[in-house]
Structure 1
Amino acid sequence: MRTDRYLAEATPSLSRSRVKGLMEEGHVRRNGQVLRSPADLVRPGMRFEVAPPAAVAARPASQSIPFTILYEDDTLIVLDKPAGLVVHPAPGNEDGTLVNALLAHCGDTLPGIGGERRPGIVHRLDKDTSGTMVVAKTEHALATLSADFAARRIERSYLALCWGVLSPASGDLDGAIGRDPRDRKRMAVVDRGGKLALTHYRTLKVARMSVSLIECRLATGRTHQIRVHLAQNGHALLGDPVYLRRIPAAARLLPEPERRAALDFPRQALHAAVLAFVHPATGVTLRFETPPPPDFTTLQRMLFEE
């Protein structure tokens, strides 16, 4: 067996790519001698020492930004992300992100991922989408949860307010998703070059044949998947600044002030309500459910007269 593979299996807290990096940096010894070749084969009687250096501070600065914690241990943290909070630093959003907030919250309790003291972002929510997220604290948790997401072993359910009435009331929305060839900042259902995407939906309530409250469950996890699939089928999310390009005809069916409140909703009306997964360290299934934030529930009550 290759040395990098052997050591990765022997030390579950380190990924194979991390082991290779440590070898190349001189942090692995075989029988007392530095070993830099990941492809060398393991033989009986060999003794290996793996000595990862202390995690260095992450490049993003830690910033005290409030967020709601649903669960936390030494392996991971589950949170309720508020709408308006970007998950990861990027051009245009170098700070003030969830990563900055997690660095401030976790501090020195982060063991480090890839040699850097930082949280492991397993999945993302759009800036203006609220709801449940899980973030890894260790390399093993990041690798395990990422694999579970890729294999569709994670339960994810969203609540959405969309224009119009879907027919049938429940079913599937599919279509490969890729970059919109006419606007590279948008995603779209494309004929070529996209990735398979499947969204299961169920209508929960309908207001005046104009707005629907639906539950969406993801079979895949593509960028903007729910937003793209609904818009493609003529049922864009209320408030969606990217995929709702004109006032929908269904809006005429609403009386004032409901129509104005629906048209003026300042973000896509989407909330990640349910998240369930197997804990990568304990093997116990964890399930979390959060209600939508006040702006969503206020609009919902107004439209459905709750």
Structure 2
Amino acid sequence: MENINEYIIGDENKNVRIDVFLSDVNKEVTRSHIKKLIDDEQVTVNGKTVKPSYKLNIGDKVKIIIPEPKELEINPLDYPLDIIYEDEDILIVNKEKGMVVHPAPGHYDDTLVNAIMHHCKDNLSGINGELRPGIVHRIDRDTSGILVICKNDMAHNNIAAQLKEHSIKRRYYAIVCGNIKEDEGTVDAPIGRNPNDRKKMQANVKNGRHAVTHFKVLERFGNYTYVECELETGRTHQIRVHMKLIGHPLLGDSVYGAHKSPFKLEGQTLHAGVLGFIHPRTGEYVEFKADLPEYFEKLIKILRNKTNN
């Protein structure tokens, strides 16, 4: 059954974008889902449809219809998962490089979601809709590493709230081009869609969203640097965009990199290595780690040998 929520706007929400307001008051629904509902005309202001960028006025009557999640129409895939931890609420997996997280055009039957559906059967949250059961956050296709899958809506709501508060620890490992002179630093630059290419993200664009990445140098290899990046926020392509911004794009990144990699790589050299959060049921802090993939370890050895010889 669909949910219908109505609000009357007060002083505190004057001039707030409607998509921002609705994602704040409907914490179980992602902002991207809110935008889709607005585009699908499931949101009205004073009885009229609006755009996601509409800014609220005092006294506006806002109505949102949140349809019941559709029955899943994606096929389970019998595929071996690298499971780090599992209980009744969450599943922690180490996603391999090259695997898409959730179904999308061109990938409807070979994604992580398909494999998770086979493993978990019907025990997945349905908040993010029919194509993203259990998915509360994601990493890019060519990024390897750790993800938490939610088995029920309670866990999904809880972890989504922690993501929104930026309280989840997310630590990544990357090899970037060039020699970073500083031992550590912070990139604080908003990120939004590239106005000239909607498939790309860009730093410091108009209406970009707040984004902060902390980095620390782990090892230097002359023309390359091995770094640890910790996310304070979690924007699309955040590390890739921020490292490009400071002149050190990720090695192998065909989208944001300056030139072709001299090594045989499929996409950026980026691994989600650490994930820590408050467990939704126990209330205790838990932290999980995923070892670097084999290709990444081999590449470090190659670079180390070239540097020392």
When normalised by structure 2's length, the TM-score is 0.73
What residue is the counterpart of 2:276 in the other structure? Answer: 276
Distance 1:181 1:282, change over 3 A: same
Mapped pair 1:78 → 2:92: yes
Q: After superposition, where does 1:227-306 map in structure 2 within 5 Å?
A: 227-247=240-260, 260-261=262-263, 264-305=264-305
Distance 1:114 1:158, change over 3 A: closer
Instruction: Give the distance between the partners of 1:115 and 1:195, measured in 2 at CA.
Output: 24
**In terms of mean alpha carbon deviation, does 213-222 or 87-96 score higher?**
87-96
Secondary structure in structure 1 of the residue aligned to 2:259 = coil
What residue is the counterpart of 1:172 in the other structure? Answer: 186
Decide whether the 8 Å contact of 1:159 with 1:270 is kept in 2: yes
Residue 62 of structure 1 is aligned with which of 68, 76, 79?
Answer: 76
Cα deviation for residue 283 of structure 1 reads 1.0
Instruction: Give the distance between the partners of 1:166 and 1:116, measured in 2 at CA.
Output: 43
Decide whether the 8 Å contact of 1:57 with 1:117 is kept in 2: no
Kindly provide the amino acid, as one letter, of the partner of residue 212 in structure 2: L
Aligned residues: 245
Decide whether the 8 Å contact of 2:211 with 2:234 is kept in 1: yes
Cα deviation for residue 95 of structure 1 reads 2.0
What residue is the counterpart of 1:223 in the other structure? Answer: 236
Kindly provide the amino acid, as one letter, of the partner of residue 273 in structure 2: A
What residue is the counterpart of 1:133 in the other structure? Answer: 147
Kindly provide the amino acid, as one letter, of the partner of residue 81 in structure 2: F
Decide whether the 8 Å contact of 1:103 with 1:118 is kept in 2: no
* Cα displacement string for residues 255-291 of structure 1 (whole angstroms, at most 9, x for unaligned residues): xxxx833xx3222000000001111011121111111
Decide whether the 8 Å contact of 2:142 with 2:266 is kept in 1: no
Distance 1:234 1:56, change over 3 A: closer
Secondary structure in structure 2 of the residue aligned to 1:240 = coil
Secondary structure in structure 2 of the residue aligned to 1:295 = helix
Distance 1:278 1:294, change over 3 A: same
Distance 1:232 1:153, change over 3 A: same
Distance 1:118 1:184, change over 3 A: closer
Larger gyration radius, structure 1 or structure 2: 1
Cα deviation for residue 294 of structure 1 reads 0.6
Cα deviation for residue 245 of structure 1 reads 3.6
Cα deviation for residue 193 of structure 1 reads 1.1
What residue is the counterpart of 1:102 in the other structure? Answer: 116
Kindly provide the amino acid, as one letter, of the partner of residue 216 in structure 2: R
Instruction: Give the distance between the partners of 2:293 and 2:269, measured in 1 at CA.
Output: 10
Alpha-carbon RMSD: 2.6
Kindly provide the amino acid, as one letter, of the partner of residue 274 in structure 2: V
Decide whether the 8 Å contact of 1:56 with 1:117 is kept in 2: no
Decide whether the 8 Å contact of 2:138 with 2:147 is kept in 1: yes
Decide whether the 8 Å contact of 2:74 with 2:131 is kept in 1: no
What residue is the counterpart of 2:168 in the other structure? Answer: 154
When normalised by structure 1's length, the TM-score is 0.74
Instruction: Give the distance between the partners of 1:230 and 1:175, measured in 2 at CA.
Output: 11
Secondary structure in structure 1 of the residue aligned to 2:121 = helix
Percent identity between the two aligned chains: 41
**In terms of mean alpha carbon deviation, does 181-190 or 153-162 score higher?**
181-190
Decide whether the 8 Å contact of 2:190 with 2:208 is kept in 1: yes
Secondary structure in structure 2 of the residue aligned to 1:168 = coil
Distance 1:161 1:71, change over 3 A: same
Cα deviation for residue 61 of structure 1 reads 1.1
Distance 1:142 1:232, change over 3 A: same
